[in-house]
């Protein structure tokens, strides 16, 4: 075993020449390690292992191991209802959140947010109906039934569709298909967030300018044309009030950002604005009739509607289809929003749990007169902005909101809508993360492309299509990397067994008569043609170089397979074919360090046998040493 | 430098204990190599390099380097017209091919196959109209214009659509987007081939049973129901004749397969059958009226139709849309068929050239009264079956066909259609490669799934959809590998610097206080969440193991990044976050051997700085040695 060291030292003594005359120096036989197959497993065992890695990578049941049954029960309850885990520590926070949500969703649904608070794993997600799902549901149901002609049937269909949407979402979660959301990358989310923030801000121009007839669309062009086409509806009183409070809110935000100690300034600003503006409108009642106000807030829970779900009749297919489409749309948006805010606060959102929470929320919603609800960007932004402060402000806020809810509710009658618009704009503007976009540009151009696609897609096309394009770009990037992988020529670093890129390490030296190539990707159908061509081109170029420099002829090609983490049948055929092609050119092909699964597949397909004893080595170093020794022995 | 060897030998002397007490043995400071960044390049240079690897991996112009201009001209002509390259060597073969094609496509197009022979790079592809493109074009044009009401407008639209299909196909080739066809893996093609062979054979039941009214559909169910619903049209004379010749052809095929020396038996069989059956029908003229015959073969070239192309008018959009859809469908089929036969004969089909050839063929076709043509499976199968023999049979066949074409044409009047059906069935049956399917099952279950999908998709749904599903499965497989990559715990092989999988190499030993993990995949948005969870689980399990076995506590996690061939911003964030999480647990995170592009990105995003001097090493061995030495120095 000590033999290794001689060889290493010999290597280093030839630093002056570019090539190491291997046949002279690597003479003593070194210990050669054989390449092992991974431990034998049946197809069923392999399948089981693979499936558990795919669906249960987090080993969700590990907490239950070696526990008493009562502890197990508590853990199971905590697992099913995340609220039990963090609820006890966050009583006030929880309360505040519920209160905030109740306030924000004033004429809206009460049951879904409640369900979400108990089941959901995101702590900032504000749930409610969102415009995309609403639009899609409206148009899909409208094609089948007219609301004006048969309102009851229409409502029945809406609730039934909501039920199916929830069922679909919950089953995705139950089937542990949460990894689907992994395809929403941070780059995509930065773009999505900025695009949504711009669109939501622009939509608030309705309230800010006092426009009455406004588009319900969510794209840049219809919103802007709506703003400018309705110039006669602009109300100067609303504009003055809106922009004054907007300036006030933005100023307080700047103050808090510059001096973190003054965080309470921006935290208290929204409530101050609401109270102040309500007082102004109340005092100037007679003179402020141009300013639209919230008016009566209906109280009480949603009426039950489970009797309105109908699972037969000619419209069932329409209801199921609408449910599926709105279900997947709202799920995508909800989880994107949830992940966005989770990334900001550095916690993980469990995709599977999230899908189940949103799903059960909608099933429950369909029984309490709600249509499809999901995580909403603007609601979450307000939540986040209000909740991103320390515990002190949480207590203050929660108490304030509680008092408001219990005693001051009638006073909101006079709160002008323009204030809500100003608060929302202030909340979402902070979410345009141009610094992150700049960093993407600097580090990874394709990530920046995905980011831009989702930004412009959301802005000009629609939220789901923008997201789909961005996911497409991201997947394309993966496929591009697989389709056109890197191949690197390696050289020996003198004095070591290390073989590294000749291009990257200046001290690395070519080994004469060898061409050592590292393939930096799995070998798949999608790249086997390319790789074969590319390797043959390497050899051609190497031989041209040898001819030009009068070096000793090429005899052996070593493929360093360390980074070839998988191979399929096309890849195996490629390796086999490459060996035959090289054999015809009197060149030997050697594989070094194939990983477990690759070795196994090469073995199963009988390709390893054709390589023989001198075709497979554990490391590049051992291959070079052994083959050189062999050449010396048989000149 | 000689120091290494001491360390190596020390390692080996501790084989008896499971853990190497690293702090005792690895004492002398070893030479540590620093990790280099790749040579600096501007964004533009990187983009240029990347694009040339994506679009010109074969370096298509290398033949032109250092050549005289007249040689360059010849090379350019050969590059543009592959026929010039192989034509001179294959005069007879070429002639035979053209002759065969002319014979087969009896009442069909003449110009497109001619163009293809000159421009195409596949030598077995039989071109002509195919059923999918025909069906799609018929239904899409039929929606806009009725053939019975305005046949001239209909034809105009058909030729215009064909022109656009060709234009689209040729531009895909010119833009060097040929790598799109790389996504048709061999596994997919095995399934596609078998499915198409079954369908084509079943469709020949029309001729074999003498059915007159037969479906034009290409799916299993309509074809079979057509066979059994038209039982009253079955003609016993046709059936007897057909099956006799089918048995004859299959027997000769078996003979040739068993004894390769008798190859001429199966090569001569089809022509013999044609002559024999024609003679039988001719002699029994009066008694054979139940057997359908070919009848008159129209001669002459296609009439020019360039005056019928119309590039304005209200139907231009329909023509363009139809052209795009049929263009991509026929391209997919043509290239799939071409690659299938190329794979059988082990030659490469250049996707870009192939697209250009098919495209120009269709542009020319649209000017000579042809609609969309492409590579056809049944035509190619007959070509392949006829041409798969040695040169001798080629000469025999070519002469026979030539004589037939020139002098015996009128005799084909009496050739029964049933013989053509029997020949086609014999040709395609040999293409059902059940052995390849079995090999797929044995080596790669997911490849087998892709194969089955394309088989059943083609059989029961449609050729393009079957292919699309199979491509989807293949892409899903790539994404699955990326989404759920392997992580492997490494150990040291005594007496070496080699670190290998503990699970796979029994002799590999854990290094105490270290957890060495190899990540076997790029780190992307699609797997960063998974990898972070999985690495934390490894650490958790390792700590449990340590507690159970009273080993020394875990202090350092080494990530072997050799197989991490790329990283994106999500991956960088993951690495960064992981470092912070581990820091809180008093664990050190070390990266070993990141590849060039990964090192560069980590550097650009300033993450490397946070790792400091002892966070990045060239190899796992150096990391273990250096960090152990450091611990010993600062206990």
Per-residue pLDDT of A587-623, as tens digits, reads 899 999 888 888 888 888 888 888 877 788 888 988 8
Is the CB of B36 less than 8 angstroms away from the CB of A2? no
Looking at mean pLDDT, say which of A101-105, B84-88, B408-412 comes out highest.
Answer: B408-412
Residues of A in contact with B34 (CB under 8 A): none
Above pLDDT 70, what percent of chain B? Answer: 75
Q: How confident is the model at residue B408 (pLDDT cuts 50, 70, 90)?
A: low
Is the CB of B525 less than 8 angstroms away from the CB of A500? no
3-state secondary structure string across A235-290: CHHHHHHHHHHHHHHHHHHHHHHHCHHHHHHHHHHHHHHHHHHHHHHHHCCCCCCC
Is the CB of A59 less than 8 angstroms away from the CB of B483? no
Q: Cβ of A182 under 8 Å from any chain B Cβ? A: yes
Is the CB of A504 less than 8 angstroms away from the CB of B596? yes
Q: Cβ of A618 under 8 Å from any chain B Cβ? A: yes
Is the CB of A182 less than 8 angstroms away from the CB of B619? no
> Pick from B43, B57, B496: which is nearest to A530 by CB?
B57
Q: Is B558 a residue whose pLDDT tops 90?
A: yes
Is the CB of B442 less than 8 angstroms away from the CB of A604? yes
3.40.50.880, 2.60.40.10, 3.30.750.24, 3.40.1160.10: which CATH number matches A484-633?
Answer: 3.30.750.24
Is the CB of A537 less than 8 angstroms away from the CB of B479? no
Cα–Cα nearest to B245, from B202, B278, B294, B284: B278
Q: Cβ of B182 under 8 Å from any chain A Cβ? A: yes
- Across chain B, mean pLDDT equals 76
Report B:309-328 residues touching A (Cβ under 8 A). none
User: What pLDDT was estimated at residue B500?
Assistant: 87
Q: How confident is the model at residue A514 (pLDDT cuts 50, 70, 90)?
A: very high
> Pick from B504, B520, B568: which is nearest to A38 by CB?
B504
Q: How confident is the model at residue B247 (pLDDT cuts 50, 70, 90)?
A: very high
Q: How confident is the model at residue A50 (pLDDT cuts 50, 70, 90)?
A: confident
Cα–Cα nearest to A364, from A165, A173, A82: A165
Is the CB of B495 less than 8 angstroms away from the CB of A4? yes
Q: Cβ of B527 under 8 Å from any chain A Cβ? A: yes
Question: In the predicted model, what is the mean pLDDT of residues B137-153?
Answer: 76
Report A:47-76 residues touching B (Cβ under 8 A). 47, 53-54, 57-59, 62
Least confident span in A134-148, B259-273, B603-617 = A134-148
Residue extents of the structural domains in chain A: 90-477, 484-633
Rounded alpha-carbon distances, angstroms, from residue B564 to A20, B525, B574:
30, 13, 13
User: What pLDDT was estimated at residue B606?
Assistant: 84
Question: How many CB pairs below 8 Å do chains A and B form together?
Answer: 247
Q: Which of residues A50 and A160 earns the better pLDDT score?
A: A160
Least confident span in A121-135, B59-73, B322-336, B446-460 = A121-135
Question: In the predicted model, what is the mean pLDDT of residues B37-54?
Answer: 75
Q: How confident is the model at residue B601 (pLDDT cuts 50, 70, 90)?
A: confident
User: What DSSP state is assigned to residue A376?
Assistant: E
Per-residue pLDDT of A369-418, as tens digits, reads 778 888 877 667 766 765 543 334 444 544 555 565 556 666 677 788 88
Q: What angle do CA A498, A502, A508 make, to 5 degrees?
A: 45
Q: Which of residues B369 and A419 earns the better pLDDT score?
A: A419
Residues of B in contact with A601 (CB under 8 A): 443-444
Is the CB of B568 less than 8 angstroms away from the CB of A444? yes
Q: Is A446 a residue whose pLDDT tops 90?
A: no
Q: pTM above the 0.90 mark?
A: no
Q: Which residue of A has its CA nearest to B442?
A: A604
Q: Which of residues B13 and B193 earns the better pLDDT score?
A: B193
Q: How confident is the model at residue B514 (pLDDT cuts 50, 70, 90)?
A: very high
Determine the distance in angstroms separating the CA of A235 from the nearest CA of chain B, rounded to an integer: 46
- DSSP string for A453-501: HHHHIIIII-HHHHHHHHHHHHHHHHHHHHHS--EEEEEEPTTSS-EEE
> Pick from A1, A62, A537: which is nearest to B12 by CB?
A1
Residues of A in contact with B439 (CB under 8 A): 569, 605
Helix (H) / strand (E) containing B446: helix B445-456
Is the CB of A62 less than 8 angstroms away from the CB of B37? no
User: What pLDDT was estimated at residue B353?
Assistant: 81
Determine the distance in angstroms separating the CA of B565 from the nearest CA of chain A, rounded to an integer: 6
Q: How confident is the model at residue A48 (pLDDT cuts 50, 70, 90)?
A: confident
Contact indicator for A180, B529 with CB cutoff of 8 Å:
no
Contact indicator for B374, B127 with CB cutoff of 8 Å:
yes
Instruction: Say what angle helices B377-387 and B91-104 make with each other, to 10 degrees.
Output: 140
Per-residue pLDDT of A529-582, as tens digits, reads 788 888 888 888 888 888 888 888 899 999 999 889 888 888 888 898 888 888
Determine the distance in angstroms separating the CA of A202 from the nearest CA of chain B, rounded to an integer: 30
> Pick from B446, B529, B537: which is nearest to A59 by CB?
B537
Q: What is the largest CA-CA distance in chain B?
A: 109
User: What pLDDT was estimated at residue B6?
Assistant: 27
Q: Cβ of A392 under 8 Å from any chain B Cβ? A: no
Question: In the predicted model, what is the mean pLDDT of residues A334-362?
Answer: 77
Q: Is A163 a residue whose pLDDT tops 90?
A: yes
Give the pair of three-digit tokens for residue A174.
Answer: 């139950």
Q: Is A128 a residue whose pLDDT tops 80?
A: no
How far apart CA A454 and CA B287 sit, in angstroms, is 74
Determine the distance in angstroms separating the CA of A291 from the nearest CA of chain B, rounded to an integer: 46
Determine the distance in angstroms separating the CA of A399 from the nearest CA of chain B, rounded to an integer: 35
Question: In the predicted model, what is the mean pLDDT of residues B421-449?
Answer: 83
Interface test with chain B among A56, A438, A525, by most B beta carbons within 10 Å: A525
Question: In the predicted model, what is the mean pLDDT of residues A177-186?
Answer: 71
Q: Are strands B374-376 and B487-492 parallel, antiparallel or unpaired?
A: unpaired
Q: Which residue of A has its CA nearest to B527?
A: A182
Residues of A in contact with B442 (CB under 8 A): 604-605
How far apart CA B451 and CA A525 sit, in angstroms, is 13
Question: In the predicted model, what is the mean pLDDT of residues B470-488?
Answer: 82
Is the CB of B185 less than 8 angstroms away from the CB of A525? yes
Residues of B in contact with A572 (CB under 8 A): 443
> Pick from A8, A527, A604: which is nearest to B443 by CB?
A604
- From the CB of residue A317, how many other CB atoms can be counted at a distance below 10 Å? 10
Is the CB of A526 less than 8 angstroms away from the CB of B183? yes
Q: Is A452 a residue whose pLDDT tops 70?
A: yes
Per-residue pLDDT of A486-512, as tens digits, reads 888 999 988 888 888 888 888 888 888
Q: Is B5 a residue whose pLDDT tops 50?
A: no
Q: Is B105 a residue whose pLDDT tops 60?
A: no
Q: Is B438 a residue whose pLDDT tops 60?
A: yes
2.30.110.10, 3.30.750.24, 3.40.50.300, 3.60.140.10: which CATH number matches B485-633?
Answer: 3.30.750.24
User: What DSSP state is assigned to residue A98?
Assistant: H
Q: Cβ of A186 under 8 Å from any chain B Cβ? A: yes
Q: Is A474 a residue whose pLDDT tops 90?
A: no
Q: Is A12 a residue whose pLDDT tops 60?
A: no
Is the CB of A185 less than 8 angstroms away from the CB of B482? no
Q: Which residues contact B142 (CB under 8 A, 6 or more apart)?
A: none
Report B:528-587 residues touching A (Cβ under 8 A). 529-530, 533-534, 537, 540, 562-563, 565-566, 568-570, 572-573, 577
Determine the distance in angstroms separating the CA of A468 from the nearest CA of chain B, rounded to an integer: 15
User: What pLDDT was estimated at residue B301?
Assistant: 42
Per-residue pLDDT of A70-124, as tens digits, reads 887 887 777 777 666 655 555 555 455 545 544 444 354 556 777 777 777 776 7
Least confident span in A223-232, B290-299, B443-452 = B290-299
Is the CB of A529 less than 8 angstroms away from the CB of B182? yes
Interface test with chain B among A353, A485, A526, by most B beta carbons within 10 Å: A526
User: What pLDDT was estimated at residue A311?
Assistant: 83
Residues of B in contact with A475 (CB under 8 A): 479
Cα–Cα nearest to A371, from A57, A106, A69, A161: A161
Least confident span in A97-111, A166-180, A208-222, A343-357 = A97-111
Least confident span in A427-436, A487-496, B620-629 = A427-436
Q: Cβ of B259 under 8 Å from any chain A Cβ? A: no
Question: In the predicted model, what is the mean pLDDT of residues B270-282?
Answer: 84
Report A:477-516 residues touching B (Cβ under 8 A). 477-486, 488, 493, 495-498, 500-501, 503-506
- From the CB of residue B350, how many other CB atoms can be counted at a distance below 10 Å? 21
Q: Is B430 a residue whose pLDDT tops 90?
A: no
Helix (H) / strand (E) containing B518: strand B514-519
Q: Cβ of A179 under 8 Å from any chain B Cβ? A: yes
- Across chain A, mean pLDDT equals 76
Residues of B in contact with A59 (CB under 8 A): 537
Is the CB of B486 less than 8 angstroms away from the CB of A573? no
Q: How confident is the model at residue B2 (pLDDT cuts 50, 70, 90)?
A: very low
Interface test with chain A among B5, B548, B600, by most A beta carbons within 10 Å: B5
Least confident span in A111-125, B215-229, B311-325 = A111-125
Q: Is A634 a residue whose pLDDT tops 80?
A: no
Determine the distance in angstroms separating the CA of A185 from the nearest CA of chain B, rounded to an integer: 5
Q: How confident is the model at residue A21 (pLDDT cuts 50, 70, 90)?
A: very low
3-state secondary structure string across A418-444: HHHHHHHHHHHHCCCCHHHHHHHHHHC
């Amino acid at each position: 075993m000590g033999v290794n060291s001689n060889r290493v030292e010999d290597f280093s003594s030839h630093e002056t020449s570019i090539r190491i005359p291997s046949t002279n120096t690597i003479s003593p036989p070194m210990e050669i390690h054989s390449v092992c197959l991974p431990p034998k497993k049946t197809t069923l065992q392999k399948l089981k292992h693979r499936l558990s890695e795919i669906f249960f990578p987090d080993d969700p049941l590990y907490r239950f191991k070696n526990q008493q049954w009562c502890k197990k029960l508590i853990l199971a309850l905590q697992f099913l209802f995340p609220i039990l885990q963090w609820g006890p520590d966050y009583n006030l926070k929880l309360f505040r959140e519920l209160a905030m949500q109740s306030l924000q969703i004033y004429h809206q649904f009460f049951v879904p947010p409640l369900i979400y608070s108990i089941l959901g794993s995101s702590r900032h997600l504000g749930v409610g109906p969102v415009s995309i799902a609403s639009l899609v549901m409206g148009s899909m149901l409208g094609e089948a039934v007219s609301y004006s002609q048969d309102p009851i049937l229409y409502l029945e269909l809406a609730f039934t569709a909501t039920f199916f949407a929830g069922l679909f979402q919950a089953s995705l979660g139950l089937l542990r298909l949460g990894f689907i959301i992994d395809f929403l990358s941070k780059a995509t989310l930065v773009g999505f967030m900025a695009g949504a923030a711009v669109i939501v801000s622009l939509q608030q121009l309705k309230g800010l300018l006092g426009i009455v007839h406004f588009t319900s669309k969510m794209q840049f062009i219809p919103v802007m044309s709506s703003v400018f086409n309705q110039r006669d509806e602009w109300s100067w009183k609303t504009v003055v009030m809106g922009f004054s409070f907007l300036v006030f809110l933005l100023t307080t935000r700047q103050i808090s950002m510059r001096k973190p100690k003054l965080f309470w300034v921006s935290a208290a600003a929204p409530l101050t604005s609401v109270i102040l503006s309500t007082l102004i409108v109340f005092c100037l009642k007679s003179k402020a009739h141009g300013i639209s106000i919230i008016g009566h807030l209906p109280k009480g829970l949603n009426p039950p509607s489970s009797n309105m779900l109908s699972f037969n009749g000619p419209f069932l297919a329409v209801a199921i289809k609408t449910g599926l489409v709105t279900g997947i749309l709202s799920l995508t948006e909800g989880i994107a929003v949830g992940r966005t805010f989770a990334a900001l606060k550095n916690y993980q959102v469990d995709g599977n749990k999230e899908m189940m929470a949103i799903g059960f929320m909608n099933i429950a919603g369909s029984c309490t007169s709600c249509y499809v609800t999901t995580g909403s960007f603007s609601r979450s932004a307000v939540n986040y902005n209000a909740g991103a402060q320390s515990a002190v402000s949480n207590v203050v806020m929660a108490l304030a909101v509680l008092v408001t809810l219990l005693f001051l509710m009638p006073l909101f009658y006079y709160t002008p809508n323009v204030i809500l618009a100003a608060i929302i704009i202030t909340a979402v503007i902070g979410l345009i993360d141009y610094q992150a976009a700049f960093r993407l540009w600097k580090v990874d151009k394709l990530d920046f492309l995905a980011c831009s696609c989702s930004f412009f897609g959301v802005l000009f096309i629609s939220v789901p299509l923008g997201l789909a394009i961005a996911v497409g770009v991201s997947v394309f990037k993966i496929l591009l990397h697989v389709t056109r992988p890197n191949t690197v020529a390696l050289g020996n670093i003198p004095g070591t067994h290390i073989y590294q890129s000749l291009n990257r390490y200046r001290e690395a030296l070519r080994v004469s008569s060898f061409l050592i190539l590292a393939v930096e990707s799995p070998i798949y159908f999608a790249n086997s043609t390319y790789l074969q061509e590319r390797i043959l081109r390497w050899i051609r170029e190497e031989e041209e170089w040898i001819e030009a420099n009068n070096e000793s002829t090429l005899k052996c090609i070593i493929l360093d397979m360390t980074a070839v983490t998988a191979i399929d049948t096309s890849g195996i055929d490629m390796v086999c074919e490459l060996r035959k092609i090289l054999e015809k050119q009197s060149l030997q092909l050697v594989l070094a360090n194939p990983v477990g699964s690759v070795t196994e597949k090469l073995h199963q397909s009988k390709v390893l046998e054709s390589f023989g004893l001198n075709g497979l080595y554990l490391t590049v170093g051992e291959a070079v040493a052994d083959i050189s020794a062999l050449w010396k022995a048989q000149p």
